[in-house]
Amino acid sequence: MLKNIKLGTRFNLILALVFMLGITISGAALSSVLQQRAQAEVTSQALLLIQAMNSVRSYTSNHIKPLLAPQLEPETTFTAETVPAYSATEVFENLRQSEDYKNFFYKEATLNPTNLRDKADDFESKLVERFRSEPNTPEISGFRALPGGQMFYIARPLAVSQKSCLQCHSKPEVAPKSLVETYGAENGFGWQLNEIVATQVISVPADDVLASANRSLSLIMSILIGIFAVVILLINLLLRRSVIWRIRRMAKVAQEVSTGKTSTDFEQDCGDEIGALGIAFNRMKSSLEIAMRLLSQQQDG
């Protein structure tokens, strides 16, 4: 099929095909590498923050709670500072005051929470259900679209790990009176030992990181396309100058020679293959001239 197409067009067709294939493959590879890097970046941010929140939780359980426990019973208002979930949520709220972290979120999303601000939304409820049905899943992560933009989240299950939790989360009758006074007797009770009641979810904004990955992708792709275009242009120029134009001139000379016009010579000023062809053609032309001369002499004689 390519046989009847001109040499230059044929070359260009093949080059364009290689060019497009190269751009597509390198674009796909680059996009996946950049995407992975962007995901690794948001993952490491989320992991660091969730680890920091767990440190706040254990500091509260080990240091603050024992210190303030005696206050819980006699007081009428519950000292929420003794609760790890409360301190982690509050510390994170402090972090969000800073401009750089205002779109980060932390929540101990609970199906039946003591404090209603911890109530799991539909998405988080599904995560809790999934952790309940797959007890061996230690972590779920992914992207989630929120009004503020695309978010990357990491969720971990939160279980009622100790019997001591049941003092405040089983029945209102056994809970400190101050707790019932402050939070009421409806919410945050009826939890079972070892039951997964909540999920700890950290959400990190991913838009900026993904946008920066896309910017890098467009930049590198434009550079690649530019380089390919220049290469194709140069190859074309070289092909035209050193092959096509010279072959055309040769064809013209051969055409003239065939009609008996022997005054023009084939080009032979280059030491390359076409130059060698020119030398051979000139030699053939000379032999032809001699043969013709001999022939006409014979005819004359």
Residues forming the site for ligand HEC (CB under 6 A): 72, 78, 80, 83, 85-86, 89, 108, 110, 113-115, 118, 158, 160-162, 164-165, 167-169, 176, 179, 183, 188, 198
| Residue 94 CA, distance from chain mean position | 31
Closest contact distance (angstroms) between CB of 150 and ligand HEC is 26
Closest contact distance (angstroms) between CB of 26 and ligand HEC is 48
31 by Cβ neighbours in 10 Å (0-12 / 13-18 / 19+) ranks as middle
> Within 13 Å, how many C-alpha atoms sit on residue 161's CB side?
5
Cβ-based nearer residue to ligand HEC, 27 or 172: 172
Dist. CA 241–CA 243, nearest whole Å: 6
Question: Contact at 8 Å (CB) between 195 and 201?
Answer: no
Dist. CA 258–CA 97, nearest whole Å: 91
- What are 94's two structure tokens? 């402090």
- Residues 6 or more apart whose Cβ sits within 8 Å of residue 47: 154
Handedness of CA 167, 173, 178, 183 (dihedral sign): positive
Cβ-based nearer residue to ligand HEC, 39 or 114: 114
Dist. CA 146–CA 77, nearest whole Å: 35
> Within 13 Å, how many C-alpha atoms sit on residue 70's CB side?
1
Closest contact distance (angstroms) between CB of 25 and ligand HEC is 49
Dist. CA 243–CA 6, nearest whole Å: 12
Cβ-based nearer residue to ligand HEC, 86 or 228: 86
Question: Contact at 8 Å (CB) between 111 and 120?
Answer: yes
Closest contact distance (angstroms) between CB of 19 and ligand HEC is 57
Dist. CA 207–CA 143, nearest whole Å: 10
Dist. CA 141–CA 156, nearest whole Å: 9
Cβ-based nearer residue to ligand HEC, 106 or 228: 106
Closest contact distance (angstroms) between CB of 87 and ligand HEC is 9
Cβ-based nearer residue to ligand HEC, 196 or 204: 196
Cβ-based nearer residue to ligand HEC, 41 or 90: 90
Cβ-based nearer residue to ligand HEC, 93 or 265: 93
Cβ-based nearer residue to ligand HEC, 64 or 165: 165
Closest contact distance (angstroms) between CB of 157 and ligand HEC is 10
Closest contact distance (angstroms) between CB of 156 and ligand HEC is 11
Closest contact distance (angstroms) between CB of 53 and ligand HEC is 12
- Inter-CA distances, 252 with 130, 202, 249, 256, Å: 80, 77, 5, 6
